[in-house]
């Protein structure tokens, strides 16, 4: 398997190091039907394979790399859902039926509410480590988990 190497330009723990993030671990897990068990699957190998990866900052950077992977997957999933919603809206309402609310507007409201929930929940989770070095990593880990869960939610809607 190829490892994607990300050279970090900043960050005190790994400033002169290379972060070893392996997105193929997530891809393989999902392809093998791992579902939600795939959330976070790249973090431990990233920490193990990156010099300084077991430091608080190193671990947080590995979590952040996977968070970005899930955010990209969410963007693609949302694009597909938006196209579907636009197609539903374009169909219009059959004659004699009450007007159907906009699917696109509803999707955007769901996503905005979810974003507010994620931000608030993860701030609260990070706050549980107040004053400690794990605060930032806890917040990132929460964002990664909840973002991945939202991806699964949106994909499950598409599978109905």
Q: Residue 95 above 70 pLDDT?
A: yes
Write down the pLDDT at residue 53: 94
Q: Residue 6 above 60 pLDDT?
A: no
The alpha carbon torsion through 32, 33, 35, 41 (nearest 10 deg) reads: -20
In whole angstroms, give the CA distance from residue 114 to residue 42: 24
pLDDT tens string 97-107: 999 999 999 99
Write down the pLDDT at residue 159: 84
| Best CA proximity match to 107, nearest among 146, 137, 77, 127 | 77
Q: Residue 17 above 90 pLDDT?
A: no
Per-state percent for the chain, helix, strand, coil, to nearest 5: 65, 5, 30
Q: Residue 4 above 50 pLDDT?
A: no
3-state secondary structure of 5: strand
pLDDT tens string 44-92: 999 999 999 999 999 999 999 999 999 999 999 999 999 999 999 999 8
Question: What is the percent of the chain where pLDDT is above 90?
Answer: 82
Q: Which residue has the tokens 């955010």?
A: 71
CA distances from 124 to 73, 99, 142 (A): 25, 40, 10
pLDDT tens string 127-137: 999 998 889 99
Reading the block at residue 30, the tokens are 């999902």
Question: Where does residue 32 rank: exposed (0-12), middle (13-18), buried (19+ CB within 10 A)?
Answer: exposed
What predicted TM-score, i.e. pTM, was given to this entire model? Answer: 0.85
């Amino acid at each position: 398997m190829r490892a994607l190497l990300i050279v970090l330009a900043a960050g005190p723990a790994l400033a002169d190091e290379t972060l070893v993030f392996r997105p193929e671990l997530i891809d393989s897990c999902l392809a093998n039907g791992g579902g939600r068990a795939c959330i976070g699957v790249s973090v431990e190998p990233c920490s193990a394979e990156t010099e300084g990866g077991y430091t608080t900052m190193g671990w947080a950077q590995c979590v952040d790399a996977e968070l970005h992977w899930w955010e990209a997957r969410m963007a693609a999933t949302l694009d597909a859902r938006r196209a579907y919603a636009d197609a539903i809206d374009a169909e219009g309402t059959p004659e004699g039926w009450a007007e159907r609310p906009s699917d696109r507007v509803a999707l955007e409201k769901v996503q905005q509410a979810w974003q507010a929930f994620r931000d608030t929940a993860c701030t609260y989770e990070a706050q549980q480590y107040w004053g400690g070095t794990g605060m930032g990593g806890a917040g990132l880990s929460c964002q990664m988990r909840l973002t991945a869960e939202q991806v699964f939610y949106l994909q499950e809607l598409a599978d109905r």
